[in-house]
Amino acid sequence: MTDVPQIYLITPPEIDAAFPDRLAAVLDARPVACIRLQMLTQDADRVTRAADLCREVAHARDVPLVVADHTALVQPLGLDGVHLTDPRPLRKLRADWGEDPIIGAWCGASRHDGMVAGENGADYVSFGPVGTNLGAGETAQRELFAWWSEIIELPVVAEGGLDATAIEALAGVCDFFALGEEIWSSDEPAGQLARLTASLV
């Protein structure tokens, strides 16, 4: 793993015309390793419009942009890969795509699912939530990240319910912190990102 975890941004579930400027301000204030387009809508036109807005900002700064789950949109929209919230299609997708596109896998709090995703060709796995009982109520504990970073070389992302305390506690055992609503809910997302990640500087 890296000495200092990197920032991985997750977009808001709804994106308006003002979002590219907010995104640009964050990217210009702090190095970001990757952006995930993760929207609530399943409407292809809306996802496409959002991807076009985000891609221009991201690629102008050499930041890769991946989309959550919509694998069919990756190549037509010129995106850099996909983040799978259900990693079961991963093996076939990697075989079809080859090595270049990024494929990430959400694995909840399951060490087993993470290992299977790695065997099937994932570029990273993400565990979470770390700070709150979301979803099925199971949280990813620090012990999981510590075990993973010691035993497995595949990069690991912490996401879900992150605050400054959780980030400081996990800084030595993960490669990326995925931040979304934690910063976009603020009127000043770049400043909020700085506050949340002050322990990493």
Q: pLDDT tens digits for 126-184?
A: 999 997 665 566 899 999 999 999 999 999 999 999 999 999 999 999 999 999 999 99
Whether pTM exceeds 0.85: yes
In a domain, 31, yes or no: yes
Hey, CA dihedral for 77, 80, 83, 89, is it positive or negative?
Answer: positive
Inform me whether the pLDDT recorded for 15 exceeds 60: yes
In a domain, 168, yes or no: yes
In a domain, 163, yes or no: yes
In a domain, 61, yes or no: yes
105 three-state secondary structure: strand
The first and second tokens of residue 50, run together, are 């959002």
Residue 138 pLDDT: 84
Residue 35 pLDDT: 98
Inform me whether the pLDDT recorded for 1 exceeds 60: no
In a domain, 170, yes or no: yes
In a domain, 1, yes or no: no
Range in 1-15, 21-35, 124-138, 140-154 the model is least confident about: 124-138
**Residue positions counted in the chain:** 201
Residue 136 pLDDT: 61
Residue 3 pLDDT: 80
Q: Domain with 110 in it: what CATH number?
A: 3.20.20.70
Q: Which domain holds residue 106?
A: 6-200
Domain count, the chain: 1
Tell how far CA 124 is from the center of its chain: 10
